[in-house]
């Protein structure tokens, strides 16, 4: 069992299972409402109670539920974060502007006496007009360098990456909840039925809350990666400039 659990990372637990479980509950609620007696006017509590009874009667089913949640969460985990960001107004997603990252580098270099670093080993992001935003290949290269040469630094960075993935997963789960909630509201006798409407409302609140913050969280991830990569360059290594 210990060996089995060791294969699950922090990203699996936070960025995969919670969104997957939420999507599972939306699907389960839709199926329950479809086969339930409409005249009984079932509520979301009835859905949870029915699931609880099913698990108590068949404890082994929890293994399949967790597996299904993991599959659903992994499906949306595999989608690019940019897609989730584009689903939120203003419906566009770009990497952090080079000027914003250069500002961090300039601040560090301006405080060289306090930080005591080698300015020549700091990364430089050219601010050309046609490349206003940092390219994803540069972003991924920084991650690869940390992964190969600084396991501790890479693991620290993954805290920020997992948080971004968690926000992205909740956004996808929220969209599924909104769509499923609308479907269930049209399914019942009452448009504001006690199953579809709570799911729709909760999903809308989650979408608004996490959607408003995902760009800020991504910016924090980019800044953390930049500083970690910059700290790595300060080690006793040879950094050569590309030929002119």
The tens digit of pLDDT for each residue in 34-57 reads 888 767 788 899 999 999 999 999
Instruction: Say which range, 59-63, 103-107, 186-190, 235-239, has the weakest mean pLDDT.
Output: 235-239
pLDDT over 90 percentage in the chain: 60
Mean pLDDT of the chain: 86
Instruction: Provide the token pair at 200.
Output: 């729709």
Q: What is the pLDDT of residue 4?
A: 42
Name, in order, each residue with C-beta under 8 angstroms of 186's C-beta and a sequence gap of 6 or more.
Answer: 196
Name, in order, each residue with C-beta under 8 angstroms of 18's C-beta and a sequence gap of 6 or more.
Answer: 73, 166, 169, 170, 173
Round to the nearest angstrom and report the end-to-end CA distance of the chain.
56
Name, in order, each residue with C-beta under 8 angstroms of 212's C-beta and a sequence gap of 6 or more.
Answer: 88
pLDDT tier for residue 192 given thresholds of 50, 70 and 90 = confident
Q: What is the pLDDT of residue 41?
A: 80
Q: What are 127-184's pLDDT values in tens digits?
A: 655 567 788 888 899 999 999 999 999 999 999 999 999 999 999 999 999 999 999 9
Burial 51-71 (b: 16+ CB within 10 A, else e): beeeeeeeeeeeeebeebbbe
Sketch the domain layout of the chain as residue ranges. Answer: 2-233
Q: Are 23 and 173 in contact (CB under 8 A)?
A: yes
d(CA 146, CA 150) in angstroms, rounded, equals 5
Instruction: Name the pTM for this structure.
Output: 0.86
DSSP 8-state class, residue 192: T
- The torsion region of residue 15 among left (phi > 0), alpha (psi -120 to 50) and beta comes to alpha
Q: What is the pLDDT of residue 189?
A: 66
Q: What are 69-80's pLDDT values in tens digits?
A: 999 999 999 999
């Amino acid at each position: 069992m210990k060996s089995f659990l060791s294969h699950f990372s922090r990203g699996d637990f936070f960025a995969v299972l919670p969104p997957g479980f939420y999507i599972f509950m939306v699907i389960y609620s839709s199926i329950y409402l479809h086969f339930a007696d409409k005249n009984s006017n079932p509520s979301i509590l009835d859905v949870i109670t029915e699931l609880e009874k099913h698990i108590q009667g068949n404890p082994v089913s929890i293994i399949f539920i967790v597996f299904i949640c993991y599959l659903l969460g992994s499906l949306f985990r595999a989608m690019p974060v940019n897609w989730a960001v584009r689903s939120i107004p203003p419906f566009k997603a770009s990497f952090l502007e080079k000027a914003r990252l250069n500002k961090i580098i300039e601040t560090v270099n301006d405080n060289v006496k306090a930080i005591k670093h080698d300015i020549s080993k700091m990364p430089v992001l050219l601010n050309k007009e046609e490349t206003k935003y940092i390219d994803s290949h540069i972003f991924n290269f920084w991650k690869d360098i940390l992964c190969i040469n600084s396991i501790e630094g890479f693991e620290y960075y993954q805290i920020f990456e997992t948080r971004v993935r968690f926000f992205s997963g909740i956004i996808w789960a929220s969209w599924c909840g909104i769509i499923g909630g609308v479907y269930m509201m049209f399914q019942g006798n009452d448009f504001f039925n006690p199953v579809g409407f709570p799911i729709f409302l909760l999903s809308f609140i989650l979408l608004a809350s996490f959607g408003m913050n995902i760009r800020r969280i991504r910016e924090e991830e980019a800044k953390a990666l930049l500083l970690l990569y910059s700290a790595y360059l300060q080690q006793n290594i040879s950094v050569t400039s590309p030929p002119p």
